[in-house]
Amino acid sequence: MKILLIYFVTVFLSNTVGALSGMGGGVIIKPALDFLGYHSLNTIAFYSSVAVFTMSISSTYKQYQNGIHIQWKKAAGVSMGSLIGGMIGDLLLNRALIATSNQEQVQMIQYSIMLVTLILVLLYNQFSDWHFQFKRSSVFVFVGLFLGILSTFLGIGGGPINVACLIFFFGMEIKSATVYSIITIFFSQLAKLGTIAFSTGFAGFDLTMLWAIIPAALLGGYVGGVFSKKMSEQHVAQLYSFVIFLVILLNSYNLWMIVKGYL
C-alpha cells in the first residue's frame, strides 16, 4: 500500500507538470522511480510508458476542450513517425539489456544521453529563438521518427526534447508545441506497449501497480490541461525551463550514484 501511494503521488505530480509543459511526465517519472529503486529498469520503463500514454489521452482531450487548434495533417505526420520510432526504440532498449551484463550499464547510457540532450534543450530555450519553418509532411514524419526512437529508448516519453524539436524545426509557439508533443508521446508509447503485448506479454510485470499509476496519470493529465488554459506562453516557458533544470539535477545524481558504485 505504501508503494502504491508513493507511485500515485509521483505519477500525479509528474503528469500534471508534464501535461502543462508538454514534457509528458515520463522525463520526471523515469528518474524518480529509478531513484526510489523499487523495481527493475525494464519494469520502470513499462510503468513510465503506461503513465505517459494514459496522460496523453486525458491531456489531449482537455486541450481540445480548451479550444487549442490542431492541424491534423501535421499531427498525422508526427504520429506516423513516432509510431514507427517507438517500435524501433523499444527494440534497441531490449537489445541493449540483452547485450550488457547488467541494467546499470544501460542506465548509464540512458542518463548520459538524457543529460546531454536536456542541457542542449535548456540552453536553446534560454538563449536562442532561432528556428526553421519547415512545412513539408516528410519532415514531420522524420522528426516524429527521431523523437519516437529517442523517447522510447530512454523510457521518458520524450516531452522536453519533443517540445524543443517542434519549436526548432517548425517555429511553433510553445503552447502549440506542447499539444503536438503529447500527440507524439501517445503514438510512441502506444507502439512500445503494443510491442510488449504482442511479444513477451505483460505477465512479467507487477500489474497491481497500475491501480495507482493509471488513475494518477489520468488525473494528472486532466489537471495539467486545466491549468494550461490559465497560463500564458511566458509562464509555460518558464515552468518548462525550471522543470528541465530540476530533472538535470536528478539525472546527474542518479548517474553519479551508478558511477560511484564502480569506483
Q: Give domain limits for the chain.
A: 2-262
For the CA atoms of the chain, what is the radius of gyration? 17
Say what the pTM is: 0.81
pLDDT in tens, 22-42: 566 777 888 888 888 889 888
DSSP letter for 208, please: G
Measured from the Cβ of residue 1, the count of other Cβ atoms closer than 10 Å reads 6
* Average pLDDT over every residue of 48-62: 80
pLDDT in tens, 117-143: 889 888 888 887 788 889 888 999 999
* Average pLDDT over every residue of 14-19: 79
Give yes or no for residue 7 having a pLDDT over 90: yes
DSSP letter for 209, please: G
The whole-number pLDDT of residue 207 equals 92
Instruction: State which amino acid sits at residue 229.
Output: K
| Cell output for 100 | 550488457
Give yes or no for residue 21 having a pLDDT over 70: no
**Collapsed DSSP state (helix, strand, coil) of residue 231:** coil
Measured from the Cβ of residue 4, the count of other Cβ atoms closer than 10 Å reads 15
- Percent of the chain at pLDDT > 70 equals 94
pLDDT in tens, 196-215: 898 888 988 989 999 999 99
CA distances from 172 to 106, 144, 175, 200, 220 (A): 34, 15, 8, 39, 24
The whole-number pLDDT of residue 9 equals 92
25-34, 66-75, 131-140, 218-227: least confidently modelled range:
66-75
Return the higher-pLDDT residue of 65 and 244: 244
Q: Is the dihedral of CA 44, 11, 185, 240 positive or negative?
A: negative
Give yes or no for residue 225 having a pLDDT over 80: no
- Percent of the chain at pLDDT > 90 equals 15
Give yes or no for residue 62 having a pLDDT over 80: no
Q: Is the dihedral of CA 209, 210, 213, 216 positive or negative?
A: negative
Give yes or no for residue 5 having a pLDDT over 90: yes
CA distances from 25 to 64, 76, 162 (A): 19, 22, 12
**Residues shown for the chain:** 263
C-beta separation of 17 from 239 below 8 A: yes
